[in-house]
Amino acid sequence: MSDGETRKPLPVAVLISGTGRTLKNINDRVAGGRLDVDVRLVIASTSMATGVQYATEANAPSRVLVRKDFDSDESYSEAIFAACREAGAELVVLAGWLKLLVVPDDYQNRVVNIHPWLLPSFCGQGYYGHHVHQAAIDYGVKLSGCTVHFVDNEYDHGPVILQRAVPVSHEDTADTLASRVFEAECEAFPEALQLIAEGRVTMAGRIVQVT
Ligand code: GRF
C-alpha cells in the first residue's frame, strides 16, 4: 500500500472574509479526490462572507468571529486559534482572510495564505483584492501572479512556499488581471496544500524546500 493510500487527510481550518471562492475551490478539489485535506472548521470574520454556505457543502462547521467584538488583535487571534485547536486543525488556511493575526507558538509555520501578487512587491496593509491589481497596472508591470506563503505576524511577509506567474498585457484592466491571477491561484493553492499534506514541505530559516 502506498503512502497516499494510508495517509489520513490533513485536518485544516479555513479562514475567510469575503466571497469564499478560494474555500469553494478547496472543497471542489477535496470532492474530486485531488486534495487530501479535511476541512474541520470554517471561520468567517464577517457574517456577510458568502463562503459560509460553501462550508455547509463541505460538511464543515462554521463560525463567525468579528474583530470588533474583541479588545485587541491578540485576544481576537487567541479566540480564533482556540477554535482551530478545538477542531483539531493541524493547518490554518487563510482563504481571502483580511484581518491581522497574531500566530501562537503552536501554530508557527502552520498557517498559510495566498496573496494575489508575486511577493515581496505590491503587498502589506491595504494591498488586497482589486487594489493590488490596479496598483500593478498603474505601475506598468508585465508579469503578475500569486504567492502561497507561511504567515507570520506581519502582513504578506512569511516564507514563500510557491509562486505562479501570469503575463500582464497593456489591454488589461484590474478585472481582467484579477481573473487571470485567480485562475493561477486555483491551481497554486491546492498544489501547495497537497505538498504540505504529503509532508513534503520543510524549512530552514525563511527558505522553504519542497522535496
Ligand atoms: C484571492 O485573490 C486571494 O489571493 C486573496 O483573497 C482572494 C480570494 O478571496 N487572499 P475570496 O475567496 O474571493 O473571498
Q: Whose CA is nearest to atom 8 of ligand 1?
A: 96
C-alpha cell read off for 198: 504529503
Tell which one of 16, 21, 118 to mutate to probe ligand 1, the residue whose CB is within 8 A of the most ligand atoms.
Answer: 21
Q: Summarize pLDDT for 39-97 with one digit per residue, the tens.
A: 999 999 998 878 888 888 778 899 999 999 999 999 999 999 999 999 999 999 999 99
- Are 86 and 19 in contact by the 8 Å Cβ rule? The answer is no
H/E stretch holding 130 reads helix 129-139
Query: SS3 for 176?
Result: helix
Q: Which atom of ligand 1 is nearest to the CA of 23?
A: 12
**What's the pLDDT at 1?**
40
pLDDT tier at 5, thresholds 50, 70, 90: low
Report the C-alpha gap between 78 and 85 in whole angstroms: 10
Binding site membership of 194 for ligand 1 (Cβ less than 6 Å)? no
Confirm whether pTM is higher than 0.85: yes
The yes-or-no answer on residue 115 being catalytic is: yes
Q: Is the CB of 158 under 6 A from ligand 1?
A: no
Ligand 1 atom nearest 94 alpha carbon = 10
Q: Give 86-141 pLDDT, tens digit per residue.
A: 999 999 999 999 999 999 999 999 999 999 999 998 888 888 888 999 999 999 99
Task: Please tell me the distance from the alpha carbon of residue 167 to that of residue 184, in angstroms, as a whole number.
Answer: 11
Cα(70) to ligand 1 centroid in Å equals 24
Nearest C-alpha neighbor of 181 from the set 116, 123, 137, 126: 116
All three cell numbers of 95, joined, read 482563504
